[in-house]
Amino acid sequence: MSATFRLRTAVAGVLAVGLIGAAAATATATAAATGPGTGNGGNENGADAGTGGATASAAPITPGGPSAAARTNTVTADREQVRQWEEFRLRGKVTGIRAGTAVRLQQMQHGSWKTLPATSVVNRSLDYSMRVKLGIRGVNRIRTVVAGQPSDPVTVTVR
């Protein structure tokens, strides 16, 4: 069997599964649109008398993964004040983002966010940790960005 034939068979199988899933979603949406009291059993949720009334959701599935609204990125610093070039730690938690995704550190400089050379990776628990050293004295606003999702800024004062 050639590789081209196997690839075509695999693509056809994926397309068939996609068409079956779309037909099921359309049937569920149609049943939900008819309202309560309709269906084979005529009970209040529109299900057959012996099925228990469970229905599948017809929510759209995005091929690229969770939508931006489902993604969150929160970060905290272990200290609010540090000395210049003293190391401190940022800890963060994400949702809707895959483990292994890169974490970037950004600092507000002259009115815009600048990416710093500190990086980390989201672990299997969807947490991350990053050691940071800052050299600009005064109040520093920093944040992390994971998969395009920025966290709320954290303020760290450098003495």
Residues 15-73 have pLDDT tens digits of: 444 444 444 444 444 444 444 444 444 444 444 444 444 434 344 444 445 555 689 99
Residue 91 amino acid letter? R
Separation of alpha carbons 43 and 36, rounded Å:
8
64-114 pLDDT, tens per residue? 455 556 899 999 999 999 999 999 999 999 999 999 999 999 999 999 999
Question: ∠ CA 107-119-68 to the nearest 5 degrees?
Answer: 75
Q: Which residues pair with 158 in a beta bridge?
A: 82, 138
pLDDT value, residue 67: 57
Q: Where are the alpha helices (H) located in the chain, listed in sequence order?
A: 3-33
Which pLDDT score is estimated for 69? 62
- 73, 100 contact by CB (below 8 A): no
Residue 145 burial (10 A CB sphere; 0-12, 13-18, 19+): middle
Which of 30-44, 60-74, 115-129, 131-145 has the lowest average pLDDT?
A: 30-44
Q: What is the pLDDT of residue 114?
A: 97
Band (pLDDT 50/70/90 cuts) for residue 128 is very high
pLDDT attached to residue 1 = 52
Contact 34, 112 (CB under 8 A): no
